[in-house]
Structure 1
Amino acid sequence: MTGPQRPTAALTSLDSALANLLECVRAVAPVDCLLENAVGAVAAGALQRAALPPHNTAMVDGWAMRAHDLVGASSYAPVLLQTAPVWVEAGDRLPPDCDCVLDENSVVQSAPLFEALAEAIPGEGVRRAGEDMAEGSGIVAAGQRIGATDLMIARSAGCDRLSVRRPIVRVLEVPAGDKRSTSAEFIAASAREAGARVMLAKADARDAQSIASAIGGDACDLLLIVGGSGVGRNDAAVAALAARGDVVAHGLALRPGRTAAVGRIGPTPVIVIPGTPSHALAAWLGLAQPVLDRLTMRMLRHPIVRPLARKIASAIGFSELVLLKAVDGDWRPLATGDLPLQQIATADAWLIVPAESEGYAAGAHIGALPL
């Protein structure tokens, strides 16, 4: 990295930078969304429905019967049925006096009579009322990120729309020297995955004036500027932010991600994210993701707790991103601070060691979030 190295004392702690960002962040207003457009969004409220299915339903094609009429029936000893059975198909409502479904070959007709060739137990071939979902059960919880399975359940319950929170995130790419959009595309994809509607733009050049012009006036709930966050001659994105708004902090006690910056343009929070992939990852996890969680009111993420296979050493005064891999029930640290792409590719989870900690001893039980 070119440019002068700042002493630790001149760096802003990750906790302070994040607290400043979150200070004025409020959840975006809920919007109604068609189910097919809801995947990835965060539910704005709990959705509960009546019992599912609402009545006893045939699970297979066959004859709707009463189990007590079939006692002792077999191919060797057919049972004469007193009433004609009703043919039903999977998904049909079961007749009110029936409690099982026999397959087609288990009933024979000798006009005008019917004989059963097999027994059945109550509930065989039947989905009872409320068996899929009891009355009042939640389909979607407030703050839950909506997945494909949630949509399947919502459709089964007769829903066609959901109330969601979907903030607008503008990702502004500062052109990289190698012309690749690796980090900007990663940030944009991560924001979409977190439930945001993403607008992706690119500055014409790497100078502050070009970046300031590209910031424009498009309304958004969070602005992420990717690239141009270095020190000295390489901090054009930070200079552009200063020209359009306020820089709260530039230079964070975060490894990797030291050259990240945070600020505001009016009420809109702004994060300047380093263009190097590992630094972009750290800035996303440590800064951008928590802001998006606040905007969407996403429920708390639950860490997976496992013992450490070996110790994690960390420098006091820096928050350090650690990548971990699950091996034989333990967390095995892969990399701390400097994160090669190979380690990112093989990691299962992550954690950020607090600035006041020297790390964790081997065997310590620690919580990590899926990567």
Structure 2
Amino acid sequence: MSDLLRDAGFKELTRVSTARTRLRDVTTRHERTVRRSLVEADGCVLAEAVTSGQNVPHYDRAAMDGFAVRAEDTFGASSRAPNLLRVASDEVAPGDAVRVHTGSEIPPGADAVVMVEHAELVGDDLEVFDAVAEGENVAPEGEDVEEGQQLYEAGHRLRPSDLGLLKSTGVREVTVYELPRVAVIPTGEELVEENPEPGEVIETNGLTISRLVERWGGDASYHDIVTDDETSLREAVDNNLDSDIIVTTGGSSVGERDLIPEVIAEIGEVVVHGVALKPGHPVALGVVADTPIIMLPGYPVACIINAVQFLRPALKWAGGLPLDSFPTVEARLGRKIHSDVGDRTFVRVRLSEEDGERVATPTRASGSGVLSSVALADGWVEVPESSEGIASGDTVAVQNWEWLA
């Protein structure tokens, strides 16, 4: 990195959308597959279509508590003139009824179920007060799913309800894509794991980012701290090029100790350095040997915001996962937000209720090193590049960026 760049800082910043497009261009979807049990497959993407192994239900069953009957034996029944049937124990012969419960197999000879509230036992007989049609209150074999029916196509991300349906049809294992492998490498000579001395900082970014990777559908490897040394940084990257994505935290700006962009430029390519995003200008994106490298800033808030904007979509692209939007809630802005035109600004807010109205109050508009401003917030408000800010009292959309999906 030139001394001129270090002295001048970022002269030009890449727009968020452009930076994301460049990252997309160097991110490749992996094709590794694995057979997994249904429990292990939750959240995974199917690599093959899945068909039903059996009918569901696999027998004719009662859809209500009541009595299995021949429908024709109930014709003409009413509350004033009930039909009288014999109570049997197994098969239903003409004029018979057999007690059944919801889910019970329909006994031979029956073709309908009289609901328990429409009948009354009188000794060994049954008075039926309401006629039923053939098939009424009966769930026929295969009503839910037929054997051989295609349930899901390749590319579908499995949800808990999908797993339940698959199990009900006799499926026990599925072929899915492996979760994208993400190497998380915290960097910085000032970082320690515990008991910091003056000038030292407890490492938190690697922990946070590795857990976000797992939450977003990836397989994170959380590495030891790497000091600000070109040889050590190069070695850390080289040793993890079998990952689908490498993400570093810290050392991404233009200071004397910000070495990682220079290292990536020497062994690969830096496609973006400096993004018009606030807080978090000093993010860098690159590629080495077809492995995308996401270089996140060291300040915790900037690190998280850039991870959401770049690491999350890259992970989804690599794993063939859908890039769903975060859920949002509308609220009245409790205090004016200032923003610089040209920057996409993310303002952390707390939500509260005032006179029955939801109110969003900024926890902090600046301060990318104040981790509590994110951790104690309920979400953030995204201010577009074209805006100078948002006036107090305006309605804003608060993004719940920590949503589990």
Given the two structures, how large is their TM-score scaled by the length of structure 2?
0.71
For residues 226-265 of structure 1, the aligned pairs below 5 Å read 226-265=249-288
Cross-structure match for 2:168: 156
Contact (CA 8 Å) 1:250, 1:261: kept in 2 or not? yes
Given residue 210 of structure 1, which amino acid in structure 2 is its aligned partner?
A: S
1:116 counterpart residue number? 126
Indicate yes or no: 2:68 matched with 1:64. Answer: yes
Q: How much has 1:239 moved relative to structure 2?
A: 3.9
Out of 183, 186, 191, which is 1:177 matched to?
Answer: 191
Report the CA distance between 1:107 and its aligned residue: 7.6
Q: 2:298 aligns with which of 271, 275, 289?
A: 275
Structure 2 spans left out of the alignment, 5+ residues: 87-93, 194-201
Deviation at 1:364, TM superposition (A): 4.8
Give the conservation status (yes or no) of the 8 Å contact 1:139–1:150.
Answer: no
1:222 paired residue number: 245
The percentage of counterpart residues that share the same residue type is 26
The alpha-carbon deviation at position 265 of structure 1 amounts to 0.6
Relative to structure 1, the CA distance from residue 23 to residue 323 in structure 2 (aligned partners, 3 Å threshold; closer, same or farther) is same
Query: Does the C-alpha gap of structure 1 residues 259 and 163 become closer, same or farther in structure 2, counting only changes over 3 Å?
Result: same
Aligned residue for 2:166, secondary structure, equals helix
Q: Is 2:344 the counterpart of 1:319? A: yes
* Partner in structure 2 of residue 100 of structure 1: 113
Q: 3-state SS of the aligned residue for 2:162?
A: helix
Residues 75-120 of structure 1 show CA distances to partners (whole Å, capped at 9, x for unaligned) of x9783334544565654443573332766xx78697xxx5225657
Q: How many residues align?
A: 364
What is the aligned counterpart of 2:360 among 332, 343, 352? 332
Q: 2:315 is matched by which residue type in structure 1?
A: L
Cα deviation, residue 286, structure 1? 1.1
8 A Cα contact 2:301 2:371, kept in partner: yes
SS of the counterpart of 1:202? coil
Distance across 2 between alignment mates of 1:216 and 1:192: 23
Q: Are 2:15 and 2:275, in contact at CA under 8 Å, matched by a contact in 1?
A: yes
Shift of residue 313, structure 1, vs aligned partner: 3.1
Q: 1:341 to 1:78 in 2, by over 3 A?
A: farther
Q: In structure 2, do the counterparts of structure 1 residues 171 and 7 end up closer, same or farther at CA, with 3 Å as the change threshold?
A: closer
In structure 1, what residue type is equivalent to 2:28?
A: R
C-alpha change, 1:243 and 1:9, in structure 2 (3 Å) is closer
CA contact (8 A) 1:72 1:79 kept: no
Q: Distance in 2 between matches of 1:42 and 1:368?
A: 26
CA distance in 2, matches of 1:129, 1:344: 53
Deviations 1:203-231 (A, max 9, x none): 45343322222223441211111233343
The residue type equivalent to 1:99 in the other structure is: A
Residue identity matched to 1:37: E
SS in 1 for 2:270: strand
1:16 matched residue in structure 2:
18
Shift of 1:240: 3.6
Contact in 2 for aligned 1:306/1:329 (Cα 8 Å) = no
Structure 1 gap ranges (5+): none
Name the counterpart of 2:220.
198
Instruction: Write the distance in 2 (CA, Å) between the matches of 1:66 and 1:230.
Output: 80
Partner of 1:41: 44
Aligned equivalents of 1:353 and 1:207: distance in 2? 37
Give a deviation string over 1:272-308, Cα, whole Å, max 9, x none: 1223321221111111111122223333424556555
Residue 93 of structure 2 is aligned to residue 80 of structure 1? no
Moved more, 337-346 or 170-179: 337-346
Q: Partner of 1:10: helix, strand, or coil?
A: coil
Q: Deviations over 1:303-323 (max 9, x none)?
A: 556555125432112222233
Contact 1:212 1:243 in 2 (8 A): no
- Assess, with a 3 A threshold, how the Cα gap between structure 1 residues 177 and 336 changes in structure 2: closer, same or farther: same
Deviations 1:51-77 (A, max 9, x none): 854664335776533566464589x97
1: CA distance between counterparts of 2:315 and 2:153?
18
1: CA distance, partners of 2:349 / 2:128? 57
> Which range is displaced more, 313-322 or 282-291?
313-322
Counterpart of 1:355, as a letter, is: E
Q: Is the 8 A contact 2:332 2:396 kept in 1?
A: no
**Contact 1:305–1:366 (CA<8 Å) still a contact in 2?**
yes
- Map of 2:90 onto structure 1: none
Shift of 1:232: 1.8
- RMSD between aligned residues: 4.2
Question: CA shift at 1:169, angstroms?
Answer: 1.6
Task: Report the Cα distance in structure 1 between the residues aligned to 2:399 and 2:79, rounded to whole angstroms.
Answer: 58
Task: Report how far residue 17 of structure 1 moved.
Answer: 2.4
For residues 205-216 of structure 1, what are the structure 2 equivalents within 5 Å? 205-216=227-238
Letter in 1 for 2:230: A
CA positional deviation for 1:326: 5.6
- Deviation sequence 1:31-64 (CA, Å, 0-9, x none): 3542222223244577676985466433577653
Secondary structure in 1 matching 2:185: strand
Amino acid in structure 1 at the alignment position of 2:238: G
SS of corresponding position for 1:295: helix
Provide the residue aligned with 2:198 in structure 1.
Answer: none
**Which stretch of structure 1 is more off in the superposition, 158-167 or 220-229?**
158-167
Normalised by the length of structure 1, the TM-score is 0.77
SS of 2:285's equivalent in the other structure is strand
2:386 — aligned with what? Answer: 356
